[in-house]
Structure 1
Amino acid sequence: MVNKNHFSRLASIYKLMVGNLISFIGDQIYIIAIPWIVYNITGSITQMATITAIGKIPNMFQPISGVWVDRFNKKKLLLVCDALESILVCSMGFFYLWEKLELPYIYLITIISGFLSQIYNSAKFSVIPLLAKEDDLHYVNSLDSGIYNMGILIGPSIGGLIISAFNPGYALIINGVSFLGTLVAVLFTEISEESIDKKARHLKYLKEDLKMGFNFVFKTPSLLYTNTALIFSSLGTTLFLTVMFFYLRSIVGLNASEVGVLLSIGGVGAILGSLLTNHLIKYISHIKIIILGMLLGGSSIVIFGIARSYMMLVLSNALGTFAVSLINPCVTTIRQSVTPKYLLGRVQATSRFITWILIPIAAYAAGVMSDFWGSSTTIVIGGIIQMTSSLILFKIVDLEIFKGDSSCEL
């Protein structure tokens, strides 16, 4: 009976991961297509930055999405989000092909899609501890990170080729269809969860539920300090990512296909990072791996900002994705390990709200800074900020405050 149950859990995990791979590939295509489309329509780097900033506005409402995830059936939430995102992204692709796509419509879809992504990501985060045993959490999270990095390896090249050979609208349609692939995978994944108190869905409980999520995060040292460090790390990364496509296209002079290949090669570094994190965790703590990742990631962004040769850009991007894939499984495992199952959605959504709170401002600031100082300087500043963020964890990694927190020993 135990073996049968274990096999069922593994089968469900791998089904979910297959769906994630399809979705991640589509997402990477989208990441290239949208900046290209916005720049083609407006010719403005500020508008490219504005789209990024608008896409982050839903982050401000993440705690509410966490409440929904904890109070509603997670599988149904995943299915609804996939279906709606497929419709929305495909519609943008068709409108662009028909030369009817206008900036206000992109703004609207970007905001709606951002809300759906928040709900989906919180639900997926909460589902993993329902499928995997606690001892297997880091392995499953690193597997998920590896699958995401496979998307980085495959998706950008496909997106770049489609944009160069055909039309960015087709890239968006392919991304929209990828959500249907994820939907099918989730549909056939067995997700059993504890019974949900329907009375708790009433609006009068919303304030109490939100308070529970914030209280838990602020009273758990490993969550509080890692989230604080990630606030500044995310700020630096956003400065970099917001202007990266403009920098590669207008300053370095790369075409869409070359950008796609550059990002895809970065997937190799990311996969290596996902593999290495499982090895490193045997010798050093999650917190120290996060510090290492922040230092490497910030260094890679600085190098990227001053590089002009294609090979240096490729290598620095690969180092950056390697660093990110070290950090993400550790952050996820810490959150899942110290959080009761009934609070998973709220803790994840609250943590993401805290760590991403400055992203909309940073995204818009990146466009303004690039207009005044240039995209290269903006990227270098982003790298310095990310490296500096690791000092927060350096300061507290050996403090007594972590000795009573189970996550410090993970």
Structure 2
Amino acid sequence: MWILLKNKQFTKLFLGKIASNIGDSMYAIAAMWLVYELSHSAFYTGLAGFLTKIPHVFQFLAGPFIDRWSLRKTLMITQVCQIILVLIIPIAHYTGNLHVWIVLIIMPIISCIQQFSYPAQTVALPKLLKKDELIKGNSLFSFANQGIDMTFNGIAGILINMVGAITIYLLDSIVFTVAFLLFWSMPVLKANGKEKKEKQKLTEVFKKYGEDLREGFQYVFQSIISKFFIATIIANFSFGIALAVMPIYADFRGGSAIYGFLMGAFSAGFLIGALLSSLARAFPLGKTMIITYMFSAAFWISSAFLPWDVPAVILYGISLIPLGATQVLLAATGQRIIPDSLLARVFSVISSVSSTAMPIGFLMGGTLGSVLGGQLVFAIGGLGMLSISFVWFIISDLRRIPRVKDIHPEIYGLRKSIN
């Protein structure tokens, strides 16, 4: 897997993603904890999650742009925007104007920017790697996501205790600058060649944009990908409920440091799963989803009621290992059956549709947390894992999905390519 780093352009993209993820990880912990610190309300933490996740629902709108824009410019501009936005919070703090609503306004704006940044990074992979290297490339990307989150979520929690959340924002501006410089050094990621240099009428631009969106939705809903949504919508609703009360649940167990460790365990589970994805691909994907997610539900729910903090955090991390492994496998599956020209559009549609329930889950979690408390509502989140296992079991097309290497576009994708 690490042999891919001999590819200099991939290495720059990978390091840029790591830097960007460091900034995102530390920012996410600081932002949610700052909302809780300023409000001491489960409702506001739920509202913060809702506002952050709403842009994910509309990620499909970004897909056609990413397919046509220069990936290099897209990645550079997103980092500059994040640098500016994260600096607003320290400025408001030091001028005595910081209020919870300022944090709540900035959170969804940054989330909107990420709807361009993350798909652009994913779309860049097939341009830099061979098809038989994609699983390894996705595994490394998942490492960048979850490994960095695991490490820097915990570090952020400790730093909040030591120097406060405001300092995290200042550090983020530096990290995003490093990511900008790495993406700037990648001239190989030029525009995709589809954009027309001659001036077009506004009506023609919107017409073509609508056609691009329709192609993305058409591909998704004419392939087996559409059946993935039933499970993920239910699961994301449950995840939203649990994450909404995570600061309150962490405060119940010990404070901001525990919050960082819980989010670190969340990422650790993903990371371990991603590293094990090469082993998991040897088994039929359908059966793997059913069996592993059943155990995940049991581990998650049990962790909520353990009286000891350290074992509870560890068990919670273990419950998320299947999610990390199958995320890599599902991404590789999509990249195998989706034409390169549609990658951004299709992945944006997938992300948007599967994310629809999470914002609602955040609002529900915040409301329930105000009544039931963080511990019980956090345990309810484990039902999301059980729902995945159940849905993949009852839908025969999902249950019978073979190993990733045996999945072919002729069977699981569109039978006729879209031009």
What TM-score, normalized by structure 1, do the two folds share?
0.89
Question: Does the 8 A contact of 2:392 with 2:398 survive in 1?
Answer: no
In 1, Cα distance between equivalents of 2:4 and 2:321: 31
Q: Secondary structure at the match of 1:56?
A: helix
Write the mapping of 1:148-187 to structure 2, written as runs, cut at 5 A: 148-187=145-184
Write the mapping of 1:3-402 to structure 2, written as runs, cut at 5 A: 10-189=7-186, 190-192=188-190, 194-198=192-196, 202-221=205-224, 223-249=225-251, 251-252=252-253, 254-264=254-264, 267-281=267-281, 283-396=282-395
CA deviation string 1:135-155 (max 9, x = no partner): 111110011111222212320
Cα distance, 1:170 vs structure 2:
0.5
The count of residues paired between Structure 1 and Structure 2 equals 401
In 2, Cα distance between equivalents of 1:400 and 1:380: 27
In 2, Cα distance between equivalents of 1:79 and 1:366: 35
Question: Does the 8 A contact of 1:33 with 1:172 survive in 2?
Answer: yes
What TM-score, normalized by structure 2, do the two folds share?
0.88
CA deviation string 1:283-317 (max 9, x = no partner): 21344444455334433331232233112222123
CA deviation string 1:344-383 (max 9, x = no partner): 1110110011100111111101011112222222222221
Cα distance, 1:321 vs structure 2:
3.9
Question: Does the 8 A contact of 2:51 with 2:107 survive in 1?
Answer: yes
Unmatched runs of 5 consecutive residues or more in structure 2: 414-419
Root-mean-square deviation over aligned CA pairs: 2.7
Question: Does the 8 A contact of 2:71 with 2:190 survive in 1?
Answer: no
Amino acid at match of 2:242: F
Question: Does the 8 A contact of 1:92 with 1:106 survive in 2?
Answer: yes
In 2, Cα distance between equivalents of 1:400 and 1:367: 34
In 1, Cα distance between equivalents of 2:360 and 2:78: 26
Partner of 1:3: none
Q: Secondary structure at the match of 1:99?
A: coil
Cα distance, 1:21 vs structure 2:
1.6
Change in CA separation of 1:175 and 1:409 when aligned onto 2, cut-off 3 Å: same
Q: Which region of structure 1 is more displaced relative to structure 2, 227-236 or 40-49?
A: 227-236
CA deviation string 1:162-220 (max 9, x = no partner): 21111210012212322112112212233256412326981122222211111100101
CA deviation string 1:199-244 (max 9, x = no partner): 69811222222111111001011x1122322111211112111111
In 2, Cα distance between equivalents of 1:239 and 1:75: 36
Amino acid at match of 1:59: H
Cα distance, 1:62 vs structure 2:
1.3
In 2, Cα distance between equivalents of 1:155 and 1:26: 9
Change in CA separation of 1:69 and 1:290 when aligned onto 2, cut-off 3 Å: farther
Change in CA separation of 1:400 and 1:274 when aligned onto 2, cut-off 3 Å: closer
Cα distance, 1:7 vs structure 2:
8.4
Q: Which region of structure 1 is more displaced relative to structure 2, 289-298 or 83-92?
A: 289-298
In 2, Cα distance between equivalents of 1:171 and 1:87: 14
CA deviation string 1:301-345 (max 9, x = no partner): 312322331122221232134233112211211221111111111
Cα distance, 1:158 vs structure 2:
2.1
Unmatched runs of 5 consecutive residues or more in structure 1: 1-5
In 2, Cα distance between equivalents of 1:334 and 1:245: 35
Cα distance, 1:117 vs structure 2:
0.6
In 1, Cα distance between equivalents of 2:297 and 2:354: 17
